[in-house]
Amino acid sequence: MRILLQTTIPSTPDDWHIGRFSMLHRVLAESGHEVTSRNRDESLAGIDRSDFDQIWLFAVDAGDGIDEEECAALTRFRRSGRGLLVTRDHQDLGSSVCTIGGVGAAHYFHSRNLDPDRSRHARDDGQAADIDWPNYHSGQNGEYQRITVMGDTHPLLQGGDGSPLEWFPAHPHEGAVGAPAGADDARVIATGKSATTQRDFNLIVAFGGDGTSGRGIAESSFHHFCDYNWNTRAGAPSFVADPPSTDVVRDPARLEDVKTYVRNVARWLTP
């Protein structure tokens, strides 16, 4: 597969630039895929005319990352039958993706495309006073969270022996996703549990393709894929104030679950 790993910000050293997803790039490349990693140093308005089979979009912007024209191009990309993964983080981080067809509507933010369940318009993480909902606390950076597979185990969540995957990297303030109304090909395939409130929250929404569009994935946090969350020794931008855990460093074996998931995504997104 020809896979594009793309952020929604220009090259910015002290931010979540594409270089902070180098371990993800390596796993995909070692699996035999042709991988391009880049920041948004030029417009994505013509991305539907590219020869990529898949786009993995990391919406790391504060809400002004990509514009309507770029969202329309990404919509056309998926309508051409190709695969699209879109992930973001807490509050309004990454909210520029809202108008991407289908997959954008699966992302709920603080001030745009709000979660239809109003009971969820409340803070979950109490650690970061300057971060508002949605901010589900699945654990510290550098910890694992145990995921719950919803319904029949989706192919994205099957291990090599057919058993369901169990572990994802945790993050202290994940965003919110859900299956959009009217999207018959979309379903929540995995949930997490807040370490502070014990409330369940959606981790992954999978779009199976409805005959008019290719497959898609919406994820609650790009931190599932970050170098920092796979190994905190890789470092983070200076504005990250949350104290990290050493769980993943001490027990890296469980990280194989998310690496298996990554390989599954690459196979499943573009059948």
In order, the DSSP letters of 75-115 are HHHHHTT-EEEEE--STTTTGGGTTSTTTGGGEE-SSSS--
Quick one: which H or E segment has residue 214?
Answer: none
Considering its fold, how many domains does the chain have in total? Answer: 1
Determine, yes or no, domain membership for 216: yes
Mean pLDDT within 91-117: 98
Report residue 234: phi and psi, to 5°. Answer: -70, -20
CATH of the domain at 81: 3.40.50.880
pLDDT-derived band at 256, boundaries 50, 70, 90:
very high
- What pTM, to 2 d.p., does this model score? 0.98
User: What's the domain range around 21?
Assistant: 2-114+130-269
pLDDT at 32: 98
Mean pLDDT within 242-270: 97
Determine, yes or no, domain membership for 123: no
Is pLDDT of 105 > 90? yes
Is pLDDT of 210 > 90? no
Determine, yes or no, domain membership for 145: yes
Determine, yes or no, domain membership for 50: yes
Mean pLDDT within 135-156: 98
pLDDT-derived band at 218, boundaries 50, 70, 90:
very high
Determine, yes or no, domain membership for 240: yes
pLDDT at 59: 98
Determine, yes or no, domain membership for 122: no
Determine, yes or no, domain membership for 47: yes
Q: For the segment 36-49, what is each residue's pLDDT rounded down to a tens digit?
A: 999 999 999 999 99
Determine, yes or no, domain membership for 248: yes
Q: Is the dihedral angle over the CA atoms 87, 178, 143, 61 positive or is it negative?
A: positive
**Alpha carbon distance 112, 98 (integer Å):** 8
